[in-house]
Amino acid sequence: MGKVNIKSIAAALHLSPATVSRALNDSYEIKQETKERVLAYAASHNYRPNPFAKHLKTGKTNLIGVVIPFLSSPFFLEFIDELYNAVLPHHYTLIPFQTQNNEKIEKEALDFLVRQHVAGIIISPAHENSNTELLQHIHHHTCPVILFDRIQHGLETYKIGIHNSLETYTATEQLINKGRQKIAFLCGKDIGNTKDRIRGYKNALHNYAIPFREEYVIHTDYQDPTQNIDSELKEVFRRLQTMDNMPDAIVGGTDTLSVKVLGVLAALDLSVPQDVAVIGFTNTNLANYLNPALSTIRQPTQDMARLALELLIKLIDKQQNRADIVYENFMLQATTIYRKSTEG
Q: Could you report the per-residue pLDDT of 182-237, keeping only the tens digit for each? A: 999 998 776 768 889 999 999 999 999 999 999 999 988 766 555 678 888 899 99
pTM of the model: 0.81
Instruction: Please say whether the beta carbons of 208 and 274 come within 8 A.
Output: no
pLDDT tops 90 at residue 257: no
Higher pLDDT among residues 220 and 25, named by residue: 220
- In degrees and rounded to multiples of 5, residue 195 shows phi and psi of -60, -45
pLDDT top residue among 153 and 190: 153
Helix axes 132-141, 103-115, angle to 10 degrees: 20
Residue 172 amino acid letter: T
Domain boundaries, the chain: 6-49, 59-162+301-332, 164-299+337-342
The answer to whether 148 and 158 are in contact (CB under 8 A) is no
**Per-residue pLDDT, 319:** 78
Type and span of the H or E element at 211: none
- Report the top-level CATH class of 164-299+337-342: alpha beta
Which pLDDT band, with edges at 50, 70 and 90, does 52 fall under?
A: low
Q: What's the pLDDT at 51? A: 57
DSSP one-letter string for 245-270: ---SEEEE-SHHHHHHHHHHHHHTT-
pLDDT at 43: 85
**In the prediction, which pLDDT does 225 show?**
57
> Do 59-162+301-332 and 164-299+337-342 come out as alike in CATH topology?
yes
CATH number for the segment(s) 59-162+301-332: 3.40.50.2300
